[in-house]
Chain A
Amino acid sequence: MALIEVDALSTLFPSGEGDLRAVDGLSFAVQPGETVAIVGESGSGKSVTVMSIMRLLGAATRHEGAVRFEGRDLLALSEAEMRKVRGNRIGMIFQEPMTALNPVQTIGSQIAESLRLHRGLSRRDSRARALEMLSLVGIPAPERRIDEYPHQLSGGMRQRVMIAMALACDPALLIADEPTTALDVTVQAQILDLIREQARKLGAGVILITHDLGVVAELADRVIVVYAGRKVEEGTAAEILDRPRHPYTRGLLEATPRLRGGGGHRAGRMTEIPGNVPGLAEILAGCAFEPRCAHAQPCCRIERPPEVPVAQDHLVVCRRAEPVS
């Protein structure tokens, strides 16, 4: 059974010009121990998707669909029940380790907080466990670091602290929202290794939000490509990276800088995808990518494209894709 099943999730922000649909009927599942990457450019709704799963968006936000996790629909839980899920069954790592940690609390007390909250640990026991978590995530001299404040740590160290916080209660699901975007390139690989290693140890599922296909290649088992809040392609990481079928996914891959021209893509100049992501207020009857698509046909504009299985574990949401025979 899937660890988490996102079923036709839509996230709507009310506004003067009607509801803005940031996520539009997105469905996917994560199996226990599996790492699923959600990939898309800025504004594609990938962050909003995980914020919706955690219900971190303001009270005004409306949701449609369901998020089934451990037998319950998270969208239907009361706020008190949801609090018992957050930080306990689902851990979350944010993009900006510089600002995501509280500047006036020691890192030890920030890690210990969820342990006291969810595990009912005493001050002493939670501190001991926080110390354990700090050495687990590779913080040197944790006995000294535990009483330090975030500003005394480097960006990479802070992200390690974030990971320690997210994993403190042994969550079944780890959500990492652009975990390496704000870090130095040299530190990125270490943090990715750490996430992979710890998730494997816990047997936790991981939802990884990224726009960096290098990160996807490094970490993901499966990839979901989103565009304008909709899924456009889904498949194993190998399938998506080596045999992308959707014009948008191809564009993304071609727009990725490479040092060596491996993987069958041309090594020369980077290309870009012309045009911009449509605004949230635009009503798109057909394919959301149609205005930017080089292969678009008149029918693409009128009707939503179907989900077409193009290989085992690979489906494309595109009218122009040829199904497996």
Chain B
Amino acid sequence: MIGYALRRTLLAIPVMGVVAVIVFSLLYFAPGDPALVIAGDTASAEDIARIRHSLHLDQDPAVRFASWVWQLLHGDFGTSIYSGEPVLHLIGQRAGATVGLMLLATLFAVTIGITLGILAARRKGGAWDRLLAGYGTLGFSLPPFVMAYILAFVFASTLHWLPVQGFQPISAGPGPFLRTAILPALSLGIVFSALIANVTRAAMIEAMGQDYVRTAIAKGVGERTILFRHALKNAAIPIVTVIGSGVPVLIGGTVVVEGIFVVPGIGGLMVDAILHRDYPVIQAVVLLSSLVYVLTNLIIDLSYTLLDPRIRY
């Protein structure tokens, strides 16, 4: 197990290497010259050349890549072209809000998704099952930004239960955080919860049809225990897998949802950076998001051995 964990962690290194190459080549393949954008319309040829030089754009790409990676390995993500601040500092300022939002969205999605999935699986074609079918269709067909506007309209503008803006970080206390984070987290989490609910339903229906469930019934075990102790643990692997695969969906969604609810998070930073061709920031955010994704998958893979004793590495 520990050996497998080590091997998996080592395997993540070449994956991150490939990501680094792609992220780096963005600078060369993306349209628009950063030096031109930064210099503005009135800049002279010398100004542009000077900016190109300061960005090391005049160097050989291979040399630049090597020095970039070298700096990254020392924890140096460079300096923002636009604001002049260290990239890591900018990300550090804004990571809290995004991480808080994503965790809250995941909590919503997992709770709603698993509960709804189990209730639907209990009786195929029953009231809960039909509710899930409707919820799933709605969840999948409404992109997060539409969901965000609907939620904001209903709960903020019409009912005045929650504010639309004025996001408070967790450091401001759980009350203010929840009040301002619920709507963005729900907008993010509903699609995700529909995904989890559908997978939970299918996995539970399969587990409930297995012989060992019949054995448990023949032992006199009640329905609740059968659902949670016997079936859910057997259904856990696909459920955990879908939770892991939802993380990139969340990362993508947070960019849009942060914009709507004016959350000072990574999403906003990313949008600004793209608009200003602020490559060091873009590269750092993409690289870190990939790292989060790789780590999530690593944790999920390792969790399989805890969930199913038959899986041993």
Contacts and interface: CB of A to CB of B under 8 A. Distances in A.
Interface string B226-238: 0001100110000
B74 interface: no
A56 B226 CA distance: 14
Contact of A96 (B211, B216, B217, B307): B211
Contact of B221 (A94, A96, A100, A113): A113
B222 interface: yes
Given A96-B211, A100-B215, A102-B216, A117 B221 contact: yes
Interface string A132-143: 000000000000
Contacts of B217: 56, 86
A83 B211 contact: no
A83 B308 CA distance: 28
B220 interface: yes
B308 A103 contact: yes
A94 B220 contact: no
Interface of B: 210-212, 214-222, 229-230, 233-234, 307-310
Q: Which of A85, A102, A105, A117 has the most CB of B within 10 A?
A: A102
Contacts of A96: 211
A317 interface: no
A209 to B, nearest CB: 14
Interface string A86-103: 111000101010011111
B107 to A, nearest CB: 25
A36 interface: no
A100 B219 contact: no
Name the 5 nearest CB pairs between A and B, nearest first: A87-B219, A87-B220, A86-B220, A99-B211, A102-B212
Nearest to A151: B310
Contacts of A102: 212, 215-216, 230, 234
Q: Which of A87, A94, A96, A104 has the most CB of B within 10 A?
A: A104
9 contacts: A56-B217, A56-B218, A86-B218, A96-B211, A102-B215, A103-B310, A104-B307, A113-B216, A149-B309
B220 A114 contact: yes
Contact of B214 (A56, A83, A104): A56
Nearest to B213: A102
Contacts of A224: none
Contacts of A87: 218-221
B141 to A, nearest CB: 33
A86 B219 contact: yes
A113 B309 CA distance: 19
Interface residues of A, number: 26
Contacts of A149: 309-310
A30 interface: no
Given A103-B234, A103-B309, A104-B308, A94 B214 contact: yes
B310 A100 contact: no
Contacts of B308: 103-104
Contacts of B215: 92, 94, 100-102, 162, 165
Nearest to A96: B211
Given A103-B308, A114-B220, 18 more contacts: A54-B218, A56-B217, A56-B218, A86-B217, A88-B220, A99-B211, A100-B211, A101-B215, A102-B215, A102-B216, A102-B234, A103-B212, A105-B229, A105-B230, A113-B221, A114-B219, A117-B221, A149-B310
A4 to B, nearest CB: 16
A114 B222 CA distance: 11
Interface of A: 54, 56, 83-88, 92, 94, 96, 99-105, 113-114, 117-118, 149, 151, 162, 165
A99 B212 contact: yes
Nearest to B232: A104
Nearest to A98: B211
A66 to B, nearest CB: 21
Contact of A118 (B220, B229, B230, B307): B220
Contacts of A104: 233-234, 307-309
Contacts of A86: 217-220
Contacts of A56: 214, 217-218
A162 B211 CA distance: 12
Nearest to A102: B212
Nearest to A175: B218
B214 A85 contact: no
A87 B220 CA distance: 5
A126 to B, nearest CB: 13
A88 B212 CA distance: 17
A249 B217 CA distance: 34
Contacts of A99: 210-212
A149 B212 CA distance: 13
B216 A83 contact: no
A316 B222 CA distance: 41
A86 B221 CA distance: 8
A96 B215 CA distance: 11
A103 B212 CA distance: 8
A114 B220 CA distance: 7
Nearest to B216: A102
A165 B219 contact: yes
A251 to B, nearest CB: 31
A100 B215 CA distance: 6
Contacts of B222: 83
Contacts of A92: 215, 218
B23 to A, nearest CB: 40
A92 B219 CA distance: 8
B216 A84 contact: no
